[in-house]
Amino acid sequence: MTNSSDNKVPDYYVPALARGLQIIEMFDKENRILSTQDFAEHLGVSASSTYRIIQTLLDMGYLKKVTRNAYELGPQVVSRGFAFLAGKDLVDIAAPHLNALRDNTSISCHLAIREGLDTIYIYRAQAAQRLSVNMPVGARLPCHTNAMGRLLLQQLSEIEFNAMYQTLQLDRYPGPHPQTLPELKALLKKEWAQGYSSNRSDNATAIAVPVTNYLGKTIAAINISGADQVMNNQDQFEEAKQQLIETAQAISKEAP
């Protein structure tokens, strides 16, 4: 039998290690629990051939036994992955994505987090055009008065939200911002359901979407913010919104 050069196994290839990594890679959001037979069929070997590999992964914490012949990913997979991601700063992760979004849309982009009831801008990708809107890094705005801030309020539980807003006079801030707590809650519910927030002020429009971590929890928000002369074009608005959503999804995949 002749061997094809295309299928040649590298000199230092370790089959058992490769199979162990293939087993770990089988798990995803649709396949959270897998059996010994699933592993064997995927690897194209007998169930008995996978036994030592499975036992090694169990001993090292990369698999966890659920039932006699069923397994889920073990704590080492999560802890190692999280430790790696935690070493990456959110700004470092988001910056290249926001710069690309700015270049593709010619609209300024920002990244923000929440501190108390304030939105804090921690990065901006500034558009070069004259009719651009740019908030400086370090700027603070009340969360309920801007699109990113209202998305960041989704981090709060109902109890936390009521406790933090029960003494705040929302009507201190002029419209079109919400003037009462029920009005703010209704707006938050609407924006959460549609997956994005928008805000118009000072002849400018901002669209914001959440950035989430691996648990699906909102940890930050990004926006595109442009002059109404640009954003009032419905086709341009929808195209920019879609690119913003895709950018947030890309950042979320890398977020700590």
Q: Sign of the CA dihedral 77, 80, 84, 90?
A: positive
Residue 142 sits at φ, ψ, to 5 deg, of: -60, 135
Q: What is the pLDDT of residues 49-64, one digit of tens each?
A: 888 899 999 988 889 9
The C-alpha R_g of the chain, in whole angstroms, comes to 24
Local confidence band at 246 (pLDDT 50, 70, 90 cut-offs): very high
What CATH architecture is 11-81?
Orthogonal Bundle (1.10)
Q: What is the pLDDT of residues 108-151, one digit of tens each?
A: 899 998 888 888 898 989 887 655 566 788 888 888 888 999 99
The domain ranges of the chain are 11-81, 88-254
Prediction pTM value: 0.62
CATH numeric code, 88-254: 3.30.450.40
Q: For strand 108-115 and strand 140-142, is the pairing parallel, antiparallel, or unpaired?
A: unpaired
| Three-state DSSP state, 117 | coil
Residue 1 CB: number of other CB atoms within 10 A? 2
Q: What is the pLDDT of residue 110?
A: 94
| Range 7-31 average pLDDT | 81
- The residue among 102, 120, 103 whose CA lies nearest residue 111 is 120
